[in-house]
Amino acid sequence: MSALHVIIAGGGLGGLALGQGLRQAGISVAVHEKDPGPEFRNQGYRIRINADGITALKALLTPQAFELFAATAGTPRARMDSFDHRLNLLHAQELPLDAALPGGGHLAVNRRTLRQILLAGLEESVHYGSALTRYETHPSGTVTAHFADGTTATGDVLVGADGVNSATRRQRLPEARVVDAGLRLLYGKVPLADTATRAVVPSEVLGLWTTVLGPERRFLGLAPVQYREPQHEATARLAPEIALSADGDYLACVFGARREQLPCTDEQLFGMSGGRLQAMTLALLEGWHPRMTEIVSRQDPASIFPVAVRTSVPVAAWEPDTVTLLGDAVHVMSPAIGVGANTALRDARVLTSRLVEAADGRPLTAALHAYEDEMRGYGFGAVRESADRGHRLVGQDPLPAAQL
């Protein structure tokens, strides 16, 4: 074990992935997560994992855990097609396959399954109910993190992986802004357990991601998660020490619209039951192809939740110190190209490599500067690309001028 001790605020996808990488490298790590436990919130949506995400997980997980990740991922057809609301094809897009990666580099993963794999082996290092409120940096460079329950923790580095509302970012980069992108999503799942439901879903919408565009830029996003073998069999075969919750095949079904198109305020939206959100979606899909309304009516109401799409506004380079940021905490983006989690996983891979160099003697702030320099390039690049596509395709607000 090296002498370096790293504190991570936030046990989401990015924070846990970094925790795994540091653990494999023999670097001491403590993850402080604000939720009281790993299953506290609805962790259950589908995530597209691309070549960046797969490469990162391969570098960060144990070989067994990576095998389990690949075996429990769906491998839909590598297509991202779009249709109009009458189901006429607007644009067909076949994605290039990378033969060296599982699924050719295009996997459809259940978020809760990925989190459970990311947590395996780290349980002793994760502290729940531990919400960072502020930190202080000492003249030696060490950092003390303060938590809402009055406890503190001191380490050589603090990594803010505390998501879109990051308390670490508020203190570290007070100039960085996160803005409402003007879109609202109603996310739900259609269980694909019975043949009647499967029969309703046209095979054309079983690619990696399908966008169905309607009047006034309302849209439905459809994306299947279909397992190749039951999770308990994959676990028993590949990594019996990892416990996964059982989950069945489903179609992720996301309705999206501009905020002002919804017949309710945000306060009402975020107070609605799944059943009411479903009824509202169906009312907004009047005149759409009957297959689309049939799919939405088969959503499990308990799975439906609203999301306000937000985006960071890129900021100029900052001076490095021993507090850094990772994932949505620094570059939250609209889900228009589905790369927020992939970018957080890439951060975890790059930061692990730089911290390994620091453990081997590279000056710590130089190592963190190298991470931040690289991360700002691809991270803010992805923010811009997501905002641009979201604007052109579904009317997301343009990104405000960058603070450079």
Ligand X SMILES: Cc1cc2nc3c(=O)[nH]c(=O)nc-3n(C[C@H](O)[C@H](O)[C@H](O)COP(=O)(O)OP(=O)(O)OC[C@H]3O[C@@H](n4cnc5c(N)ncnc54)[C@H](O)[C@@H]3O)c2cc1C
Instruction: Give the shortest CB-57-to-ligand X separation in angstroms.
Output: 12
Angle in degrees, 0-180, between the axes of helices 13-24 and 51-60, rounded to the nearest 10: 40
What element of type H or E holds 355? helix 340-359
- Using the rule CB under 6 A, is 159 a contact of ligand X? no
What element of type H or E holds 282? helix 274-284
**C-alpha–C-alpha distance, residues 73 and 47, integer Å:** 10
- Using the rule CB under 6 A, is 95 a contact of ligand X? no
Q: Which is nearer to ligand X, 112 or 289 (CB)?
A: 112
Q: Which residue has the tokens 């009411």?
A: 276
Helices (H) and strands (E) in the chain, counts: 13, 17
**C-alpha–C-alpha distance, residues 332 and 289, integer Å:** 34
Choosing from 341, 370, 383, 387, the residue that interacts with ligand X (CB under 6 A) is 341
Quick one: how far is CA 355 from the chain centroid?
23
Selection from 330, 325, 324, 379 nearest residue 177 by Cα: 330
- Using the rule CB under 6 A, is 34 a contact of ligand X? yes
Q: Which is nearer to ligand X, 51 or 87 (CB)?
A: 51
Quote the longest CA-to-CA distance of the chain: 66
Residues 226-285 that bind ligand X (CB under 6 A): none
Q: Which is nearer to ligand X, 40 or 366 (CB)?
A: 40
**C-alpha–C-alpha distance, residues 157 and 173, integer Å:** 16
Q: Going residue by residue from 110 to 149, which x/- string records binding to ligand X, judged by CB under 6 A?
A: ---------------------xx-----------------
- Using the rule CB under 6 A, is 10 a contact of ligand X? yes
Choosing from 156, 162, 372, 397, the residue that interacts with ligand X (CB under 6 A) is 162
**What six digits make up the tokens of 284?**
């907004």
Choosing from 4, 33, 156, 238, the residue that interacts with ligand X (CB under 6 A) is 33
Instruction: Give the shortest CB-310-to-ligand X separation in angstroms.
Output: 10
Stretch that binds ligand X, among 27-35, 228-236, 269-277, 287-295 (CB under 6 A): 27-35
Stretch that binds ligand X, among 29-37, 227-235, 277-285, 286-294 (CB under 6 A): 29-37
Q: Going residue by residue from 307 to 336, which x/- string records binding to ligand X, judged by CB under 6 A?
A: x-------------------xxx-----x-
**C-alpha–C-alpha distance, residues 9 and 126, integer Å:** 10
**C-alpha–C-alpha distance, residues 170 and 177, integer Å:** 9
- Using the rule CB under 6 A, is 390 a contact of ligand X? no
Residue 369: phi and psi, rounded to 5, are -65, -45
Instruction: Give the shortest CB-117-to-ligand X separation in angstroms.
Output: 14
Instruction: Give the shortest CB-237-to-ligand X separation in angstroms.
Output: 26
Quick one: how far is CA 393 from the chain centroid?
21
Selection from 246, 253, 276 nearest residue 201 by Cα: 253
- Using the rule CB under 6 A, is 57 a contact of ligand X? no
Choosing from 167, 181, 284, 383, the residue that interacts with ligand X (CB under 6 A) is 167
CB count within 10 Å of CB 13 equals: 27
- Using the rule CB under 6 A, is 47 a contact of ligand X? yes
Which residues contact ligand X by CB under 6 A? 9-15, 32-35, 45, 47-48, 131-132, 161-163, 165, 167, 187, 307, 327-329, 335, 338-342, 344
